[in-house]
Structure 1
Amino acid sequence: MRHVLTVCLGNYCRSPFAQVALTRRGGTSVTVRSAGLIGKWQDQPANPSMVNAARRLGLDLTPHRAQQITLEMLGWADRVLAMDAAVLETLQAIGGEANAHKLGLYLPGRDVPDPIGQGDNAFNDCTVLIEAGTALHIGRL
């Protein structure tokens, strides 16, 4: 079984959705966790707009509670997928050489835009983009 960690800024929108989308696609072949770089939403549920956008695609984010990334999480993962280049850069600084080989962008060469502060369409677009990206990872992990 493979271990995948998805990471965004706050573990409030993008990475929790990626977690459930990858889990659905990968089934029992993968265990996926998510985390954020900052603890602003620690132990809080996912953003309500993201919960609604996920529901439209048949995914349930209601059990999610945000958590901040730890070195233990980085060590657990076989692959760490950053939602954007800024997150990846921070992960590279945190993880050092020991974890460099497992770090990458969720969408190679492209950021998954952060929908925070935008309307429902931005959240819907974000979920569609992340869902489409699952095909890049499941089967290749």
Structure 2
Amino acid sequence: MSRRRRVLVVCKGNHCRSPIAALIIAERSGGALDVRSAGTRDWHVGKPAHPLMIEAASAFGYDLTGHRGRFLDEGLLRWADDVVAVDDETALAVEAIVGPDRPVRILGSGITDPWGGGPEAFAAAVLEIQEATALFYAV
């Protein structure tokens, strides 16, 4: 039995976008993908996802309550077959770590950061991620 393809989704803090993107990609793959998430900054290591993202995710039928923030490190990068950034800025930060020989893909055309916005911004981010993951990982 071959191992599942490993996908790492990265955002800045692993607090809003990458946790829900990883969850949606994993669910949409039906178990075909092993998906994790991490942040390029250590702001939220060990902490739950943003409360408004947990709420928005729940409204769409996703459970983020078990998420705990993780910092992007060499071990996660070695683990991953695919590295997916949520936007251009994050892709540049990851590329600075992994170098030019490791491709970093961007989810959709980049996912708008809901940080600082209200519930509507977080719900819009979930919708944007759903659309981007449907096109990005048709498994």
- Name the TM tier (shorter chain): over 0.9
Question: Greater helix percent: which structure?
Answer: 1
- Structure 2 length as normaliser, TM-score? 0.93
Q: Which amino acid aligns with 1:51?
A: I
Q: 2:77 matched to which residue of 1?
A: 74
Residue 60 of structure 1: how far off its partner (Å):
0.2
Identity of aligned residues (%): 38
Q: 2:61 matched to which residue of 1?
A: 58
- What are the within-5 Å matches in structure 2 for residues 96-111 of structure 1? 96-98=99-101, 100-101=102-103, 103-107=104-108, 110-111=109-110
- Structure 1 length as normaliser, TM-score? 0.92
Residue 27 of structure 1: how far off its partner (Å):
1.6
Structure 2: 5+ residue stretches without partners: none
Residue 13 of structure 1: how far off its partner (Å):
0.4
Structure 1: 5+ residue stretches without partners: none
Residue 71 of structure 1: how far off its partner (Å):
1.1
RMSD: 1.1
State the alpha-carbon separation in 2 of the partners of residues 28 and 78 from structure 1: 16
Q: 1:5 matched to which residue of 2?
A: 8
State the alpha-carbon separation in 1 of the partners of residues 31 and 24 from structure 2: 13
State the alpha-carbon separation in 2 of the partners of residues 24 and 69 from structure 1: 22
Residue 104 of structure 1: how far off its partner (Å):
1.0
Which of 12, 16, 20 pairs up with 2:19? 16
